[in-house]
Amino acid sequence: MNRTKILVVDDEEGYRKVLYNALTERGFQVKTAASGEEALAEFKKNSFSLIVIDMKLPGSIDGLELLQRAKEMNNASILIMTAYGGIDTAVEAMRRGAFNYITKPFSIDEIMLNIERMIEQNKIIEENNYLHSELEKAFGRKTIIGNSKEIQKVMDMISRVAFSSATVLITGESGTGKELVARAIHFNGNRKHKKFVVINCATLSEHLLESELFGHVRGAFTGAIKDKKGLFEEADGGTLFMDEIGDIPTPVQAKILRVLQEGEFIPLGDTVARNVDVRIIAATNQHLLKKVRDKEFREDLYYRLNVINIKMPPLRERKEDIPLLIKHFIEKYNKKENKQIKGLSPETEMELYKYHWPGNVRELENAIERAVTLTNEPIIPLHVILPIVRKEDGNNMLLDDLLSHPYKEARKKALDVFNTKYVMNIINKNSGNVTNAARECKIERQYLQRMLKKYAIKSRQII
């Protein structure tokens, strides 16, 4: 069945019936309205891809007004119907965004030709908009960075599986870049012109997850006021990336297995199965085999997902990539913050190299973003990085580090860390007001300003 929804708006019952019958016979889902007011009521219940509007409508909402409202509420393609004498108005409607106009009386062939062109135009616009945004995400700002053996193995696997339709399971700790790998597989393969759709399975309840994945029809449950397309249908022809696959409830696992085995699913509240061609790439930071043994994850689904396995190495196992990652992130956030930071001081880079990075590449990126934001010097100094990378290890780790230095150097480092934290706290507490902050901590305003400059803290920036 064609899932394209069309609304026909005409006060003449004869035209409404003719169009309704002709369009439904060709598989379209059709609604009709006899006035602008009835059309607006339909907009609230349904989303329409195409709307056919007669220019002359009864009531306070004429065809031009309805065209404007339809564009705002539905962003649909509009086909205008008009009597021969209303061509000037129809031309004005096209200036306001209508696709085309036809004059009454018309032939069904003329209507169908316009509708086919509208559908094709919508498809092209949607695909172009999608590709622009997704290619920017995949290859613009986010890139898989590294020369280590571990990351080169990942890159080799990406090139091998990109043109396959096999299901891929990406495993690894949080923050290692599993979604980046999924995007690289999609955008380097033969599905790159179709959609790459993402869902985090851990963030939704069982009912919401089922609705998101498979969609629902109007009235399927309380609050289902209109049909909703699910992500499997949204990703038809492309790729569905299912992050945190290990958190999917068992009843939903069975439905995903059906999609993998049969290529079909049934939306909530519907009785008719829909066919899709979707490549699934899944990711998890959990031990799925253990969940299988504990009867928390279906064994048959596990083996369906794990056709190709790509293991993402943690950052601590590819530390030789840290300098490249630092360079990449500094360049990225220089652009964002309009800065000219050239790099890190040697001791700062060594500090980042020694750190064990429990949050992996994501944590490193966050650390560099904060450091770039806090630094007004060409080189990021150690005292800016230390509070960032040591936040999870607490005072003991910092103390252990200080004890390994000569007394004067250790005292200076400790004072720098203390001053940075203290000044940031007092400035934030006073919403960036230096005068009030100095008064509260009982020091001269000029001295506080010198510390702000020394430690690259922006008085008007809340950290």
- Rounded Cα distance between 11 and 259, Å, is 44
Are 210 and 268 spatial neighbours (Cβ–Cβ below 8 Å)?
Answer: yes
- Rounded Cα distance between 64 and 82, Å, is 11
Q: How far apart are the first and last CA of the chain?
A: 54
**CATH code of domain 142-313:** 3.40.50.300
* Domain ranges (residues) in the chain: 5-122, 142-313, 317-454
Mean pLDDT, the chain, as a whole number?
85
Residue 311 pLDDT level (bands cut at 50, 70, 90): very high
Q: Could you report the per-residue pLDDT of 87-137, keeping only the tens digit for each?
A: 777 778 887 888 888 888 888 898 899 998 888 888 777 766 666 566 545
Q: Which of 37-46, 148-157, 274-283, 351-360 has the highest mean pLDDT?
A: 274-283
Considering only the top CATH level, what class is 317-454?
Answer: mainly alpha
What is residue 259's predicted lDDT score, i.e. its pLDDT?
94
pTM for the model stands at 0.61
Cβ contacts of residue 418 below 8 Å, gap of 6+?
none
Q: Could you report the per-residue pLDDT of 336-347, keeping only the tens digit for each?
A: 889 999 999 888
Picking from 283, 167, 271, 269, the residue whose alpha carbon sits closest to that of residue 210 is 269
Q: Which residue blocks in 74-177 are alpha helix, DSSP H?
A: 87-95, 108-135, 149-161
Q: Which CATH number fits domain 5-122: 3.40.50.720, 3.30.70.100, 3.40.50.11750, 3.40.50.2300?
A: 3.40.50.2300
Q: DSSP assignment, residue 139?
A: I
- Rounded Cα distance between 24 and 22, Å, is 6
Tokens of 117: 């062109």
What is residue 226's predicted lDDT score, i.e. its pLDDT?
79
Q: DSSP assignment, residue 141?
A: I
Q: Which residues of 309-323 are buried (b: 16+ CB within 10 A; e: fewer)?
A: ebebbbbeebeebbe
Asked if the domains 5-122 and 142-313 are classified in one and the same CATH topology, the answer is: yes
- 3-state helix vs strand vs coil in the chain, percent to 5: 55, 15, 30
Q: Could you report the per-residue pLDDT of 379-421, keeping only the tens digit for each?
A: 998 888 877 776 544 444 455 556 666 787 778 777 877 888 7
- Rounded Cα distance between 442 and 456, Å, is 21
The bridge status of strand 274-275 relative to strand 264-265 is: antiparallel
For the chain, give the percent of residues with pLDDT over 70: 90
Instruction: Provide the β-strand partners of residue 394.
Output: none
Q: Does residue 181 have a pLDDT over 70?
A: yes
Q: Could you report the per-residue pLDDT of 30-74, keeping only the tens digit for each?
A: 999 999 899 998 888 888 889 999 988 888 888 888 988 888 776
10 Å Cβ neighbour count for 53?
26
Q: Which residues of 388-410 are buried (b: 16+ CB within 10 A; e: fewer)?
A: bbbeeeeeeebeebbeeeeeeee
What is residue 92's predicted lDDT score, i.e. its pLDDT?
81
84 vs 364, more confident: 364
